[in-house]
């Protein structure tokens, strides 16, 4: 390691040093790289997030494009999951959480007065870290969303939606003979693909994935990654991951977060082969995080 | 006094044992356990055998004394029937301990009393000697066991386990004892009244004549009306308790802010802490007259002790029971379930209705079944508010009676304990016990079967 490098700001440090977290964040400088894309699906501008008094996200600008996977990486506690949960207002369920700034979906402010978070979440679906199928049958799990939103006119419609969603999630062949078995009886990887099918069934426009493979074994992970790549054709996808290999494999753009600040964003290839910011380089070469 | 001596000896044994083990350890012996375990070991050897001897001796002493004293009595007294003989023995005991008796000048008894007192003193002395001896020997044995070969820690752990098992056995044996006593008394009842009459008879009137020449009803023991009364009142209670309890549980678990929850939940649980007697007179003095007035104003005749009043108040009493248990179950549903549902664009109430409640349902059913068995077994409210008339009716405005009320009325006051009237109480108790037992078993089964579903 280069001896002349000044000590990097890290989570451990901000507890011992005199610097406040705000000062450290200020020292990180401006975001490196281009956060904007042409014709963004979702657009985040100058977003700050607070948990009670503690600020978790500092002035983030970021676009999410159609037909593209953007991965968010960074050390634990860097705010990537928090930002993801802002994108479909899941943070509304946490009473102490406050969001400022502008978050747009197709040019509409999703925190605006006219936006219904319930409808928003149907358009911006979410897959969680731990597979969380409902303790209902596989069929009911997938039919849950369409039933809520009245997407089907009759039973045959619903059957179609369920089958298609399961097919898109690449799990249909494994479960087609036991659609009435409990969703919790599946293996972890199957459960996660069931959760993806459940999300697709609501016909969302954006899919958010919060570390979707962190609870899965390598084979199940490979299947999900393959699936994410296929889903890119129809959806805008944002994925939070701790695995840099995964980010490199599935995403076209990568955003690196540190202590709630977007440090660097750009093409995945560029970020992984030729990062511009020192922190990004240190992180992807495994010096910390 | 003797106990105190044993305790002091035990304490000493502990100190000696530990010191000795510590010394051994210092001398370089590699003992199996820490010194204090050798202290415990010595203490156990000191206390346990001594306490056993003490217990057995104390248990056997009265029998021995009685037997020995009886032998000193003249043959004609010994030939007396059991009951009178016991009276004589009691007299003798009283004389010996300096109590007041009627026959203080009776020479025979005086001498017997002398004998009794002598024997008693001897026995006490021997007891003390044996106990102290046992405890000393135990201590010595324990001390001699302190060596590299003794695994004191394991011995101590085993002893603790034995003690714990013995304690849990007491609860089990008590339950078994209760069941058996109720069972045997019920069998005596069914010898006098056929089971079919009890189980299917439609008329309950347990008054029996005490003397043969007495004019009175011969008693009829059809239990159907009182079980119907129990069911009616329990049903009313559940109709009140389940919706209110469940909804307040949902509010507390899903909607209430932590502040509201912090004071609302204890407040609700205070309801559970009100003695049932208080509920009872609330039902009898406030609710029942109120219902009657309301009933009169709309032209219904409401009995002053109506099933409705008792059921309503019982329901209120059970609300915290249902809500507290359901609240626990609902809170136990993982947040991931709610997130998953909300993330699919469900509203809060849709999430609760379609995901949280179904996931928590087994627990809720369990809570309700436990509440039902509570309602069936509830006594005080119905004694005060439901009345004594065994009507076979499903009209909640009439007076009915319940199993528990009948048991109370059958067994209070002076009773002969072999008349069908009193024995009927045991049969009722048995039926009640079986009913609640079945309900509890079902509740536990249901809860266990579905508990792992979302884990």
- The CATH number that applies at residue B294 is 1.10.3720.10
Taken in order of first residue, the domains within chain A and their CATH numbers are: 31-284 (3.40.50.300)
Who among A93, A135, A149 is closest to B453 (CB)?
A: A135
Residues B7 and B103 in one domain: yes
Taking each continuous run of H as one helix and of E as one strand, the counts in chain A are 12, 10
Residue B139 domain boundaries: 2-150
Residues B373 and B270 in one domain: yes
Chain B residues touching A121 at Cβ < 8 A = 342-345
Q: Do A110 and A86 touch, CB atoms closer than 8 A?
A: no
| Burial grade of B376 (CB within 10 A; 0-12, 13-18, 19 or more) | buried
The confidence score (pLDDT) of residue B39 equals 87
Dihedral of CA A36/A42/A46/A49: which sign?
A: negative
Residue at B205 is within a domain: no
DSSP H or E segment with residue A99: strand A97-105
Please give the Cα distance from B455 to B444 (Å, whole number): 18
Q: Do A193 and A169 touch, CB atoms closer than 8 A?
A: yes
Residue whose entry in the numeric block shows the structure tokens 């559940």: B238
Please give the Cα distance from B232 to B221 (Å, whole number): 20
Domain boundary among B97, B116, B150: B150
> Taking 50 as the threshold, does the pLDDT of residue A11 lie above it?
no
User: What would the pLDDT profile of B14-46 be if each residue is shown by its tens digit?
Assistant: 888 888 888 888 887 777 788 888 888 888 888
* ipTM confidence: 0.81
Averaged pLDDT, B249-263: 89
Domain boundary among B118, B135, B150: B150
| Inter-CA distances, B328 with A104, B1, B259, Å | 39, 50, 17
Which of B341, B345, B360, B364 to mutate: most A Cβ within 10 Å? Answer: B345
Residues B313 and B402 in one domain: yes
Residue at B373 is within a domain: yes
Q: How many CB pairs under 8 A join A and B?
A: 70
Residues B335 and B227 in one domain: yes
The confidence score (pLDDT) of residue B100 equals 62
Residue at B176 is within a domain: no
Residues B287 and B144 in one domain: no
Query: Which segments of A107-220 are extended strands (E)?
Result: 108-109, 124-127, 206-210
B259 touches chain A (CB under 8 A): no
Q: Tell me how many domains chain B contains.
A: 2
Please give the Cα distance from B77 to A225 (Å, whole number): 100
| Inter-CA distances, B129 with B10, B51, B57, Å | 16, 13, 12
Residue at B157 is within a domain: no
The confidence score (pLDDT) of residue B251 equals 92
Residues B120 and B233 in one domain: no
Averaged pLDDT, B39-66: 88
Domain boundary among B89, B121, B150: B150
Residue at B192 is within a domain: no
Residues B231 and B126 in one domain: no
Nearest Cα to Cα of residue B50 among B163, B124, B133, B142: B133
Residues B146 and B232 in one domain: no
Dihedral of CA B297/B302/B304/B305: which sign?
A: negative
Of A111-115, A203-207, B92-96, B289-293, which gets the smallest average pLDDT? Answer: B92-96
User: What would the pLDDT profile of A119-137 be if each residue is shown by its tens digit?
Assistant: 888 899 999 988 899 888 8
| Inter-CA distances, B388 with A7, B105, B416, Å | 86, 54, 21
Residue at B113 is within a domain: yes
Residue at B417 is within a domain: yes
Q: Which long-range contacts (CB under 8 A, 24 or more apart) does B388-393 make?
A: B390/B203, B390/B204, B390/B205, B390/B225, B390/B226, B390/B229, B391/B225, B391/B229, B392/B202, B392/B224, B392/B225, B392/B228, B393/B228, B393/B232
Residues B394 and B253 in one domain: yes
User: What would the pLDDT profile of B264-286 be if each residue is shown by its tens digit?
Assistant: 888 888 888 888 889 988 888 88
Percent of chain A whose pLDDT exceeds 90 = 26
Q: Do B167 and B52 touch, CB atoms closer than 8 A?
A: no
Residues B136 and B253 in one domain: no
Residue at B55 is within a domain: yes
Residues B227 and B355 in one domain: yes
Which of A96, A144, A238 to mutate: most B Cβ within 10 Å? Answer: A144
> Taking 80 as the threshold, does the pLDDT of residue B208 lie above it?
no
User: What would the pLDDT profile of B381-392 be if each residue is shown by its tens digit?
Assistant: 888 888 777 778
Who among A93, A122, A136 is closest to B344 (CB)?
A: A122
**Per the CB < 8 Å rule, is A195 touching B340?**
yes
**Per the CB < 8 Å rule, is B340 touching A133?**
yes
Residues B356 and B278 in one domain: yes
Percent helix / strand / coil, chain B, rounded to 5: 80, 0, 20
CA distance B354 to chain A (A): 9
| C-alpha atoms less than 13 angstroms from C-alpha of B222 in its C-beta half-sphere | 11
Who among A121, A130, A182 is closest to B345 (CB)?
A: A121
């Amino acid at each position: 390691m280069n001896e002349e490098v000044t000590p990097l700001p890290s989570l451990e440090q901000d507890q011992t040093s005199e610097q406040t977290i705000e000062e450290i964040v200020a020292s990180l400088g401006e975001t490196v790289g281009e956060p904007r894309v042409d014709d963004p699906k979702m657009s985040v501008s100058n977003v700050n997030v607070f948990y009670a008094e503690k600020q978790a996200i500092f002035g983030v600008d970021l676009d999410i494009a159609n037909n593209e996977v953007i991965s968010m990486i960074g050390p634990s506690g860097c705010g990537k999951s928090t930002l993801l949960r802002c994108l479909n207002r899941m943070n509304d369920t946490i009473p102490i959480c406050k969001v400022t700034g502008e978050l747009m979906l197709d040019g509409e402010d999703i925190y605006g007065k006219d936006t219904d978070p319930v409808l928003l979440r149907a358009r911006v679906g979410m897959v969680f870290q731990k597979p969380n199928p409902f303790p209902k049958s596989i069929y009911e799990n997938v039919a849950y969303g369409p039933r809520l939103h009245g997407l089907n006119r009759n039973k045959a419609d619903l059957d179609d939606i369920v089958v298609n969603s399961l097919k898109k999630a690449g799990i249909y062949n494994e479960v087609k003979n036991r659609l009435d078995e409990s969703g919790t009886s599946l293996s972890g990887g199957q459960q996660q693909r069931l959760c993806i099918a459940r999300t697709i069934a609501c016909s969302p426009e954006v899919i958010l994935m919060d570390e979707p493979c962190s609870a899965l074994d390598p084979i199940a992970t490979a299947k999900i990654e393959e699936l994410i790549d296929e889903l890119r054709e129809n959806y805008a996808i944002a994925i939070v991951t701790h695995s840099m290999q995964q980010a490199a494999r599935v995403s076209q753009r990568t955003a690196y977060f540190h202590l709630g600040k977007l440090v660097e964003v750009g093409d995945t290839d560029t970020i992984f082969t030729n990062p511009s910011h020192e922190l990004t380089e240190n992180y992807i070469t495994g010096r910390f995080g | 006094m003797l106990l105190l001596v044993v305790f002091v000896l035990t304490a000493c044994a502990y100190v000696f044992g530990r010191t000795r083990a510590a010394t051994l350890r210092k001398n370089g012996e590699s003992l199996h356990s820490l010194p204090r375990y050798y202290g415990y070991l010595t203490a156990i050897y000191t206390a346990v055998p001594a306490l056993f001897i003490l217990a057995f001796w104390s248990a056997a002493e009265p029998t021995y004394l009685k037997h020995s004293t009886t032998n000193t009595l003249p043959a004609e007294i010994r030939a007396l029937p059991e009951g009178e003989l016991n009276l004589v023995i009691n007299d003798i005991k009283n004389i010996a301990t300096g109590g007041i008796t009627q026959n203080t000048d009776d020479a025979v008894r005086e001498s017997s009393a002398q004998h009794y007192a002598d024997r008693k003193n001897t026995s006490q002395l021997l007891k003390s000697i044996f106990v102290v001896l046992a405890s000393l020997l135990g201590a010595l044995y324990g001390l001699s066991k302190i060596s590299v070969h003794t695994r004191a820690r394991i011995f101590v752990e085993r002893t603790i386990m034995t003690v714990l098992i013995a304690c849990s056995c007491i609860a089990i044996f008590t339950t078994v004892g209760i069941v058996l006593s109720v069972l045997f008394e019920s069998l005596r009842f069914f010898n006098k009244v056929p089971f079919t009459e009890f189980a299917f008879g439609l008329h309950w009137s347990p008054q029996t004549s005490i003397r043969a020449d007495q004019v009175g009803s011969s008693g009829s023991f059809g239990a159907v009306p009182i079980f119907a009364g129990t069911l009616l009142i329990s049903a009313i209670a559940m109709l009140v308790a389940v919706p209110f309890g469940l909804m307040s549980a949902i509010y507390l678990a899903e909607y209430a802010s932590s502040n509201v929850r912090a004071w609302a939940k204890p407040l609700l649980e205070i309801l559970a802490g009100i003695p049932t007697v208080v509920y009872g007179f609330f039902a009898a003095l406030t609710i029942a007259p109120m219902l009657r007035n309301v009933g009169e104003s709309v032209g219904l005749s409401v009995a002053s002790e109506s099933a409705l009043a008792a059921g309503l108040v019982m329901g209120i009493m059970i609300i915290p029971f249902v809500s507290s248990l359901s609240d626990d179950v609902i809170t136990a549903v993982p947040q991931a379930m709610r997130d998953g549902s909300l993330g699919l664009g469900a509203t809060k109430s849709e999430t609760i209705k379609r995901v949280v409640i179904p996931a928590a349902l087994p627990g809720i059913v369990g809570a309700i079944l436990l509440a039902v068995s509570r309602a069936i077994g509830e006594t005080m409210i119905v004694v005060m508010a439901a009345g004594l008339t065994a009507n076979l009716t499903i009209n909640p405005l009439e007076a009915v009676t319940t199993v528990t009320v009948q048991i109370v009325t059958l067994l209070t006051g002076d009773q002969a304990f072999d008349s069908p009237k009193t024995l009927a109480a045991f049969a009722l108790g048995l039926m009640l016990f079986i009913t609640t037992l079945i309900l509890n078993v079902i509740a536990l089964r249901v809860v266990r079967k579905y508990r792992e579903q979302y884990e």
